[in-house]
Structures are given as C-alpha cells and as structure tokens.
C-alpha cells in the first residue's frame, strides 16, 4: 500500500479540517463546525456487514462513518457568501438504537476567523436544505449575544424547500423557523445569487434540496449538499441514505450528479465527506471513484 493510499484512507475516516481551493480569482473554503458519526448500515440501509468488512477505510476506530459538519465559504474579492452554517454548539453522546453515533459542533465561527473572515462580513447564507446540521449558526445566538452571528446576511432558501418547511421530514422546529423567517429570501432554480454562483434544484433528500454550482477560471464546482453523504456513494449512487425524504428520487439525482462530476474541469464539494470534502469522480478502475483534491 502506497503512502498516498494510506493518506487518502486516513482522510476518509477523520473529521475535516479547513481546506481551500481556487476557481480563477474566486476562493472556496471548507469551514469546519464539527462532525457526526453514522452507523454505516443504518445510514446506508442497502449495504451489508460483508461490504463494510471489505472496506474498512471508510470507518473510524469505533466502526462509524465520519461525516464532517460545516459550511462552504465563497470569496470573490471583498465579498463573501456562506453555503450552509453547520450545526452550532452541540455535544451529544452516542445512543443505543440511534442511527447516529456521537455528535459535536460549534467550531464554525472560530474556523471563519482562522480564514480571516468575521461573521458580519458574510452578505448571504445560502442553504442546501433545512436540516439542523446545515442551519446551526444561522438561528443559534452567537456567544455572548442574543442574536445569530450573521447580522448582515440574507438567508437564501429554495422556494420549494421553504414552502415545505412544515413537513416532518424537513425537521425545522418552530423556534428555528421563527429565527430564520425575518431574514429568509427565497431563490429559484438557475438564479445567480452571488458572482459565479447559481442555484440548482436537486430534490430527493428533502422536498426542495438544492445544490449550488460555482464557476470560475474555467472550472465548475458543484456544492451538492446532502445528495451524497459518503464518498462511497460515488461508486454506488443507487444507495440512498436513511435521511433521504424520497430515496428513489434521491438515487435518480445521484446518478446524474455522479455523471456530471466525471466531466472535465468539474470539482465536487461534499460537506459530509470526512476530510475529503473537495474531490473529483474518476470511475476508471484504478480505485474508489471519489478522488480527494490535495488542496
């Protein structure tokens, strides 16, 4: 086994750290907030015990998938957009019978500071969907204050996602909805919300799940939210996650997405992809399809 393979495998089972890449003059950075453990056969119900025994590189020492939590910072000159806002301050132990293991969050504001950005410099927070691990700091009061951190930001939510926010599958509580509502601005499929950033509806995970296509310097980056939860789904797009609202629709979208990620000059951003959040898909028989960037 080569040192490259060892490093790649280690990245697949540890929480993500700050990572950045450039699209021409535009900088995109993963902003870590924490991590959640997933029981592999619970998260991906179509998998088997034998499969995971043959692919231990995706599991941590306790046998869990490791899903990073955080956001994607998009910087264009002095302007800054954040896609998703982590979970916020949380520390939950693993509970028997739950599909999840331990959960920890709360580092996003410190990660932003390390990247040289203050929350008030974020002009908008764009959400892929309305699950708590993507809303966090957009509704939770920042430390020592009585309001969320992003004081100058509009909250951008796809029209169908906001229209269906009361569905149980969306998971938005009354408290969260009340905090978000005054700042929400709905967006539509194909709309440019920031220089080089467009909305692309990608339903299946939730009623209005959305990905964001970022273009610069001749390269396209697809921030695909929870269309995929684990890099292994690039090899098996037919495997839907326990948390997918519509597993059939989710799998159909995933097949199209993986094909798009195979196209030249295309990068993917998987917020839950452990420490391999930026990558490309190469189904060439030379190994796993998801190839992390070295950035």
pLDDT of amino acid 4:
53
Let me know if 54 is exposed, middle or buried by CB neighbors in 10 A (0-12, 13-18, 19+): exposed
pLDDT of amino acid 292:
95
Residue 16 CA to residue 276 CA, distance in Å, equals 7
Residue 236 CA to residue 245 CA, distance in Å, equals 18
pLDDT of amino acid 183:
95
pLDDT of amino acid 141:
87
pLDDT of amino acid 169:
65
User: Would you say the pTM of this structure is higher than 0.85?
Assistant: yes
Query: What percent of the residues of the chain are helix, what percent strand, and what percent coil, each to the nearest 5?
Result: 25, 30, 45
pLDDT of amino acid 16:
96
Tokens of 166: 């009361």
Residue 262 CA to residue 14 CA, distance in Å, equals 25
Mean pLDDT by 10 residues, the chain (295 residues): 68 96 97 98 97 96 97 97 97 94 97 97 97 94 87 96 81 84 97 98 94 98 98 97 96 97 97 97 87 80
pLDDT of amino acid 295:
42
């Amino acid at each position: 086994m080569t040192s490259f393979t060892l490093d790649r495998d280690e990245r697949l089972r540890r929480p993500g750290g700050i990572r950045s890449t450039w699209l021409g003059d535009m900088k995109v950075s993963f902003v870590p907030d924490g991590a959640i453990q997933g029981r592999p056969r619970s998260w991906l119900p179509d998998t088997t015990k034998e499969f995971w025994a043959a692919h231990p590189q995706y599991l941590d020492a306790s046998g869990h998938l490791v899903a990073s939590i955080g956001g994607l910072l998009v910087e264009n000159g002095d302007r800054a957009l954040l896609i998703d806002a982590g979970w916020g301050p949380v520390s939950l132990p693993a509970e028997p019978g739950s599909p999840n293991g331990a959960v920890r969050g709360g580092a996003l504001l410190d990660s932003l500071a390390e990247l040289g950005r203050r929350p008030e410099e974020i002009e908008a927070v764009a959400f892929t969907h309305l699950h708590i691990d993507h809303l966090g700091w957009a509704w939770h009061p920042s430390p020592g204050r009585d309001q969320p951190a992003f004081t100058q930001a509009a909250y951008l939510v796809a029209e169908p996602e906001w229209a269906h926010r009361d569905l149980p599958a969306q998971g938005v509580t009354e408290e969260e909805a009340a905090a978000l509502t005054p700042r929400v601005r709905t967006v539509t499929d194909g709309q440019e919300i920031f220089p080089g950033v467009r909305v692309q509806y990608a339903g299946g995970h939730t009623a209005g799940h959305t990905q964001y296509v970022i273009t610069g310097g001749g390269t396209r980056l697809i921030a695909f939210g929870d269309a995929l939860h684990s890099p292994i789904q690039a090899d098996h797009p037919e495997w839907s996650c326990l948390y997918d609202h519509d597993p059939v629709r989710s799998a159909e979208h995933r097949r199209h997405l993986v094909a798009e990620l195979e196209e030249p000059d295309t990068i993917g951003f998987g917020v839950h992809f452990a420490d391999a959040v930026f990558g490309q898909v190469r189904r060439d028989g030379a190994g796993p399809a998801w190839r992390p960037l070295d950035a």
